Structure 1
Amino acid sequence: MSSAHRFDRGHTDDLMSYLAASPSPYHAVANAAERLEKAGFRQVAETEAWDAAAGGRFVLRGGAIIAWYVPEGATPATPFRIVGAHTDSPNLRVKPLPDTGAQGWRQVAVEIYGGTLLNTWLDRDLGLSGRITLRDGTHRLVNVDRPLLRVPQLAVHLDRSVNQDGLKLDKQRHMTPIWGLGEVSEGDLIRFVAEEAGVDAREIGGWDLMVHSVEAPAYLGRDRELLAGPRMDNLLSVHAGLAALVAAAGSSSLPCIPVLAAFDHEENGSQSDTGAEGPLLGNVLERSVLARGGTFEDRARALAGSVCLSSDTGHAVHPNYSERHEPGHHPLPNKGPILKVNVNQRYATDGSGRAVFAAACERAGVPWQHFVSNNSVACGTTIGPITAARHGIHTVDIGVAILSMHSARELCGAEDPHLLASALTAFLEG
């Protein structure tokens, strides 16, 4: 597991820009699409016929994006090499009737999305982002990236036991952000959003809005060897997958079709038309086969020879809570990506998957580590087992080790994003 790989700070700088520009899944896929178009990929609509020409393509649906590159000479049975990731992160999302308040404060009603660490949203300057849907069916992105909202914590003088007994937060009563003073006015928030988006509020038919921390990503530590920022679970993997796909598309000879599949709704189970349990990826792969003149037999052969690396963040060993980790497996920042293993199939990795991942890291000159949960601590899961079960594709779970997972602001090694992207590039190149 030794490495001669050198740290590319330019990749991490670019990741920081991507994180800052992507406060919602809709922004994440829009920014991904822009990067792909600059690399020569073209968007195709699901409602139109697809052709057999070589080159890069991508499909957008809501907060999900599937992109792939068909090399010259690809046959209908050419297998796929897939990097899977997700675009969503735990946060606070605006309710259908958002205008609320109490005691002279104007507030915004929110619903808790995913398994967020509630306390990390307290006393932070929060912006508002997402998308609005107009009555003609079109969408507009919204990003109010300035201090707009705040969830204030109760002062210690009014909760003297908080530092002894711990902070106890009720999701309904204690997590409602404030955004001003005065009487509550129905429709106030959406009128504000309409003004920010430059549209008439009467034209807004629906919205998918959420809050985000406006604090920018930053290097941290004496030697700036750490990276602190929002939504690294899992935009770090989306960004690495984008870089790897673009790099693989520039290869002169590819024995496979490289794919990036970035889904929405992983943080609440993946059960949606844009989630990993939906039909999106399967439809794209099948239509790619059929567009090249393939049959059901060709599709079956292509999927049987395909491999997916499900890339999501994992847990670095926490120096203050090391007893919560498996004693023999302590992943550390800047030691390379992690191979995630769980024999109960919370992760999809098996021994042959380990060999695929190890070979990719070796070709890239990248070190790597193992991750397995403490037997006494429940293990999380990813899109990996879903992808394997739904499509019959051999899947391996990997990622980058971080601290503060599901916090409004997470922490990783500054070298690891580039190490992951390098391993993914070697994997996509086959």
Structure 2
Amino acid sequence: MDLQNLTAVSPIDGRYRNQLHQLDAYFSEYALIRYRVHVEVEYFIFLADKKFFKLTSVQAKQLRKIVTDFSVEQATAIKNLESVTNHDVKAVEYFLKRELEVLQLSHLKEWIHFGLTSQDVNNTSIPLLWKDALEQEWMPAISNLILHLKNLAKDWKNISLLARTHGQPASPTKLGKEILVFTERLEQQFQLLTQIPFTGKFGGATGNFNAHHVAFPKTNWQKFGNEFLEKRLGLQRQQYTTQIEHYDHLAAQMDAMKRINTILIDLCRDVWTYVSMDYFKQKIKKGEVGSSAMPHKVNPIDFENAEGNLGIANALWEHLSSKLPISRLQRDLTDSTVLRNLGVPFAHSVLSLKSIEKGLNKLLLNEEKIKQDLEANWAVVAEAIQTILRRENYPNPYEALKELTRGNAAITQKSMHVFIDGLKISPALKKELKAITPFNYTGVF
């Protein structure tokens, strides 16, 4: 069968393609080839800028146009070259040499890929596409989600809510504050992620600029490499490497994304539970079916889909972050095949963010049910009463409230006030205790 949405093996390129097609620009085979061309072109121009050979500004502009106008047809041409060379980066080199012929720069062909190993190109191309994908796709999406949650927290700031610890009724809280728990966690982990630099390897076959140095021993190649990566590619160069980069910073970024995904799983499960408790209802979309058998159902599928995709992403982030920093001696090839899957957990992560946003937009607050649960759980003010009695040095207040409330589901406002009236305390103190309700015993935030 021809490849199309219905025949794709991966749901990323099939079922979910309409939501994720923009990621082709970073993680497809075409994208990787384009980024390789970009690195090779910028390196060639940088060599000219450093006076290894002459290149006019017009010629440099023409070369950069190869990158900006790079087409699928050109990528296919490179793949055809690869079928002969059996080497993907060498195919890019041959392609660019042909382009130099077109630009009447044949005399400069051997400066393409000068002194480089394929990993000088791969270990700059992949960090570049990774950086662009993070900054242009994932970071805006997670930032928008955090802002969305903050707005919900503001809207629900004054909604008193029965808290649950170990699944049991606990001291009341505010719904807005419970949402802020997630915004704080997400913001802090996002901040940690942004502090991790985007790094690359650039130093020849085994990291020592061997070929560069033997050809031009008076050139400071470490300085050259640092300047090329930092000023031309926007990457931080690793100073001491083997043939490949360490992947330590990339692994740290993956671990940071994994932690953020874990927080999002926690969010999805909490919202799912609130839906199951009827604290939230969901907007109905005409024509949608919640269950093939039960017509009444409106399932929280967006949060379930997000949770599932976050789990898949984290399983892959875990493998990538633990595998990539490990390579036998000066290099083996295991990193190459693994890195080709870099876009898979990224895509599942982005898809999850879309699902959560969609789910949040469908939530309808059911204040009546929330109030009913608060009214049905007057026992939760026992903590407040015994704490005030401790303040007043009343004997054994905890034990007295425990005797009244533990395992007693029949505690009401009336029974709690009867208990208060039976205490040997002042009328003023009784009035203070009776003023406490499940609706106002929510602390501060």
Confirm or deny a common fold (TM above 0.5).
no
Give the shorter-chain TM-score range: under 0.3
**TM-score with structure 1 length normalisation?**
0.22
Q: Which has the larger radius of gyration?
A: 2
Structure with more of its chain in strand, by fraction: 1
Q: TM-score, normalized by length of structure 2?
A: 0.21
> Which has a greater percent of helix?
2
Greater relative CO (CA pairs within 8 A, separation 6+): 1
